[in-house]
Amino acid sequence: MLETKEDILHKFRFHPSNELIQLTQQQLTRLPLLNKFVENKNNFPLLQNDQHEYVLHHPIRYRWFIPLFHSINTQQPHVLFTELSMDENIFDVLQLFDYLCVDLFPSPLLDEPNLRSLNPTDRNRRLVYRPVKNVGEVRTLASQFVLSLSRDEYDLNDFRTIESVFTLISVIFTRRDIFNSKFRYHTYTILDKCVFPLFFKRHPMEVLINIDEDEKIELYDDLQSIPIDFQNAFCRKGTYELFYCGSERAGKSTMIQFLFSRYENGKCEDQYPFYFMDYLWPWLDEAEIMYLYSIEKDSCSNETQSMYYYRPPKQAKIDKCKPRYGPKAQKYR
């Protein structure tokens, strides 16, 4: 049986730890620098040892590489915080991202009024905020937020932005049931270098009181539901949804499908207003309008969401016995 390119395993040996890992071709494509090593192995024979293993030297250290690799392989940035040992400096790993030519994770689309202006806009897509499904998504948003602070992506000269940033920081350090000790420790390391020096002469060490290296509860299930008392900007994430098709507006079927996609298991997943119904209205007959309205009413029944119901405009009452033309038309009869 012929071995396909995807089945080939490339071996990498770390020096001086002598650790060995094997990567598939698909995994290798996420690591551009290592992929170049493999592609140019004939031009650089010193890259391999006698066992045909690619030898990796500093700054590609095994203890830095593994958390980085797992985070990009799973597309979950919080893995970087929860797997990296507290003996390591997270800034060394962030530099390794650049060295390996790997793009760092994007900034989160937070549903926070003072941070929304930083969210990129797209004229062909609408930014919709939906509730997160589990604590894993909460940790993803939180880790993206902390990484954004390391890149100075927030305007810390603006008072409202500062207030929102510190509110979210306090959430990370107070919710031990969601963010474990490693997550909080590496978060503090980033804040200690990128945020605290701007506001404190002496860094607030009290936030480290609850960080215990020997903490027993280190592994949390990413699929567990969010606690009822956990209400903050990490509970909702922004996603872009297609609203236009190219330079033309979406057709009737596309728009209706967009409406129906908001409902899962008979529940309203977001509070997205029907602002585009004015565009869709001329194409719908009365039965279709009432059907869409009934779905919205049944799915979003509480008072908070009632303000988002779409109500068809009231039709003007027409007296069939009254002449349809005004005095000007009667003048020429």
107 domain residue, yes or no = yes
- Sign of the torsion formed by the C-alpha atoms of 224, 228, 233 and 237: positive
Both 66 and 187 in one domain: the answer is no
Beta-carbon count within 10 A of 188 CB: 23
- Residue 256's Cβ-count burial label (10 Å; 0-12, 13-18, 19+) is middle
Both 80 and 69 in one domain: the answer is no
Q: How high is the pLDDT of residue 46?
A: 81
Both 62 and 201 in one domain: the answer is no
Beta-carbon count within 10 A of 227 CB: 12
Both 170 and 227 in one domain: the answer is yes
What is the domain count for the chain? 3
**pLDDT < 50 positions in the chain:** 1-3, 214, 216-217, 245-247, 263-267, 269-276, 278-279, 302-310, 329, 332-333
324 domain residue, yes or no = no
Both 128 and 232 in one domain: the answer is yes
Both 224 and 279 in one domain: the answer is no
Question: Which residue type occupies 200?
Answer: F
Q: How high is the pLDDT of residue 201?
A: 67
Q: How high is the pLDDT of residue 241?
A: 75
**Beta-strand runs (E) in the chain:** 9-14, 20-24, 54-56, 125-131, 236-242, 244-245, 248-249, 263-264, 267-268
**How far is it, in rounded angstroms, from Cα 261 to Cα 268?**
10
Rg, C-alpha atoms of the chain: 28
Both 105 and 186 in one domain: the answer is yes
Both 70 and 82 in one domain: the answer is no
**How far is it, in rounded angstroms, from Cα 77 to Cα 151?**
15
Both 24 and 109 in one domain: the answer is no
Residues 6+ apart with CB under 8 A from 122: 240
- pLDDT tens, position by position, 290-308: 666 666 555 555 444 444 4
246, 256 Cβ separation under 8 angstroms: no
Both 130 and 175 in one domain: the answer is yes
326 domain residue, yes or no = no
328 domain residue, yes or no = no
143 domain residue, yes or no = yes
Q: Give the domain-ending residue among 238, 255, 276.
A: 238
**What CATH number does residue 34 fall under?**
3.30.710
315 domain residue, yes or no = no
Both 88 and 216 in one domain: the answer is yes
**How far is it, in rounded angstroms, from Cα 138 to Cα 288?**
37
Which residue range is the domain that position 165 belongs to? 76-93+101-238
Q: How high is the pLDDT of residue 83?
A: 94
**How far is it, in rounded angstroms, from Cα 12 to Cα 18?**
10
Q: How high is the pLDDT of residue 70?
A: 96
- The verdict on pTM exceeding 0.75 is no
The widest CA-to-CA distance across the chain, in whole angstroms, is 105
Task: Name the phi and psi angles at 9, rounded to 5.
Answer: -105, 130
317 domain residue, yes or no = no
Beta-carbon count within 10 A of 23 CB: 21
Both 114 and 45 in one domain: the answer is no
